[in-house]
Copies of this chain bind each other. A is one copy, B any other.
């Protein structure tokens, strides 16, 4: 019998529904609703939220109010506020905004990188070095995260070799990123691949590897989170109601849903600080705002088990 794996005592669910979720939904949620979402997520115990993306408003009008959202989110105590930035211009706006962290996506798939960003991965690395310089020149304390997308394969080129991902991680670290995250953008990852790639990247990036981003496109989202958790990662991106989705698989499930993930971690005795009942109440609110859109997740329907309290492990009445 193999020994029980040591799991992290705590974990963080970084809510990315306001960015990764809303960017793939055509309707534009009013800023007032997004602010209410951020307020309620914080009240439910969420402490890291990616509030938007500094992309041109003509490309993603849904996220045009990102600066306003950062400003609001910064007023909430102990909330770590992050944004996505696609390029140097976006990075400059992020620095100005006062966000705590910016994530730069870099696609490990050459084909996906060219199709999506119109730049090869190594050109993106060069951009990242310029962002590092801009941060330092501004005397800003904002953290710079390199988010490697299509790390487990891509719908355009198929396989993405682990060695290429590891090479790009080294490049990003050399270019000056503070953090590394790995994303299964299209739902190609499986638990064994997750264990292997996270282990390889950990060997290169150490504690700078800090977040996993999994989509549930083929149903393996939470199994992949579990595999990453077992390698020691304890921060995961997730979207309330599993919004998001894969542009290459219409109708397919999107990101891991925050509420199901919170339930899994809570069941395993891993403290996320989240009040699941409050999160489910927020889900009902957001589902109402997004009426007609395809939502995902399962916990909202079945509810919490009889023996589980909604809040913290200390309060379990068993």
Contacts and interface: CB of A to CB of B under 8 A. Distances in A.
Interface of A: 1-2, 4-7, 153-159, 186-188, 190-193, 195-196, 199, 202-203, 216-220, 222-223, 225-227, 230-232, 246, 249, 251-253, 257, 260, 263-264, 267-269, 297-299, 301-303, 305-307, 318
Q: Which 3 residue pairs are nearest across A and B when measured between Cβ atoms? A: A190-B267, A158-B307, A219-B298
Given A155-B306, A264-B219, A301 B252 contact: yes
Contact of A264 (B159, B191, B269, B318): B191
A303 B166 CA distance: 28
A2 to B, nearest CB: 6
Nearest to A267: B190
Contacts of A226: 191, 223, 226-227
Given A2-B231, A155-B306, A263-B219, A249 B190 contact: no
Nearest to A227: B226
A7 B195 CA distance: 12
A251 B263 CA distance: 19
A186 B193 CA distance: 30
Nearest to A160: B307
Contact of A318 (B159, B269, B301): B159
A153 B192 contact: no
20 contacts: A1-B231, A153-B305, A155-B305, A159-B318, A190-B264, A191-B268, A192-B267, A192-B268, A192-B269, A193-B267, A217-B302, A218-B263, A218-B298, A218-B299, A220-B263, A223-B225, A223-B226, A246-B302, A249-B301, A253-B301
Contact of A268 (B190, B303, B305): B190
A216 B263 CA distance: 13
